[in-house]
Structure 1
Amino acid sequence: MSQLNDGLAGEVSRDCQWCHASKPYAGRNNKVFRGEKVGPMVITARAIQLAKEYIKLCKGIQSKPKSSKKWEPPDIGWLKINTDGAFSMEEYQGGAGVVIRDDQGKASVIAWELCPNESALLAEVWAIRLGLQLASRGSNIILETD
């Protein structure tokens, strides 16, 4: 907890509230559904570690305004994977969607699934993972996500 008092608190509260807020629920769920006994210090330490990882990953990333650019097919012999993830705080549920198209724009795979996660960012990562799993091995791949 002293790490929060040493300057990380501002970064956590500003950039990563979801990490700090969701860990108690994850710990509670592990206790209720798995019988694990995890104390508040362990849960707090996990939340701090997640916050540090999130902040480290986000340094240097700049938001780009959404463009109205039309989808373009990949070059001949390539596949394009488009992914999207979403998260509902009200339902505490995430979802991931994937469309894989060939150079003619023909969809070869359309898939979605609910995903157990704790944020919109993790839902996006889940969607990317799903898209890469569904892509043909040995294919030339372009990955597009928002």
Structure 2
Amino acid sequence: MLTEDWITTSWNADPVETLDCKAIIASTLWMLWKQCNVRVFGGAEMNADMLVRRAVQFGKDYAKQGRPSCTPARPQVARWTHPAEGWIKVNVDGAFSMVDRLGGAGAVIRAADDTLVAAAWEPSAGESSLRTEGHTLRLGLRLAAGYAKVEVESDSLELVRIMQN
């Protein structure tokens, strides 16, 4: 039996022409991974029937977005850029573990000529990844105290948006 036929008959799905089978399979695998995390970290588990129904709906919703299902994404390479002459750049990054509620905060300061100005790391106990990222920003700003022209860079989009607003 073809995969498309199995999806249509086993899941009582719409005809294959209206489904993106690859999206359904991918969303099913994602839902299975998510349920493994729920089992490990606690939370409300769902039965197999509900998991499949949600995966099919997720696949349908994805297909409606008009995205190609098999187009590989080109990796985006982020490169460090120098600050303007006379400025320093503070790069901050944090890591947080939901399991043990511990994390770490790190900051590095470089000058326009790429020389290391300062660096620091410290443990961070917190409630969330965002809180750890905030701790990391505070560490970087403390490290940059005394400098007038400071550029800060973080990989936490949520923290950056908060700071911009």
Report the TM-score, using the length of structure 2 for normalisation.
0.47
1:76 aligns to what SS in structure 2? coil
Q: Find runs of 4+ consecutive structure 1 residues off by over 6 angstroms.
A: none
Structure 1 residue 114 corresponds to structure 2 residue 123: yes
1:1-146 correspondence to structure 2 within 5 Å: 67-146=76-155
Q: 5+ residue gaps in structure 1?
A: 1-65
Amino acid at match of 1:120: S
Q: Which has the larger radius of gyration?
A: 2
For 1:67 and 1:95, the matched residues in 2 are separated by: 26
**Identity percentage of aligned residues:** 42
| Count of residue pairs brought into register by the alignment | 81
Higher relative contact order (CA 8 A, sep 6+): 1
For 1:108 and 1:138, the matched residues in 2 are separated by: 11
| CA-based RMSD | 1.4
The Cα shift of 1:107 comes to 1.2
For 1:118 and 1:67, the matched residues in 2 are separated by: 30
- Deviations along 1:44-69, one digit per CA (max 9) or x if unpaired, are xxxxxxxxxxxxxxxxxxxxxx9412
For 1:67 and 1:143, the matched residues in 2 are separated by: 21
Q: 5+ residue gaps in structure 2?
A: 1-74, 156-165
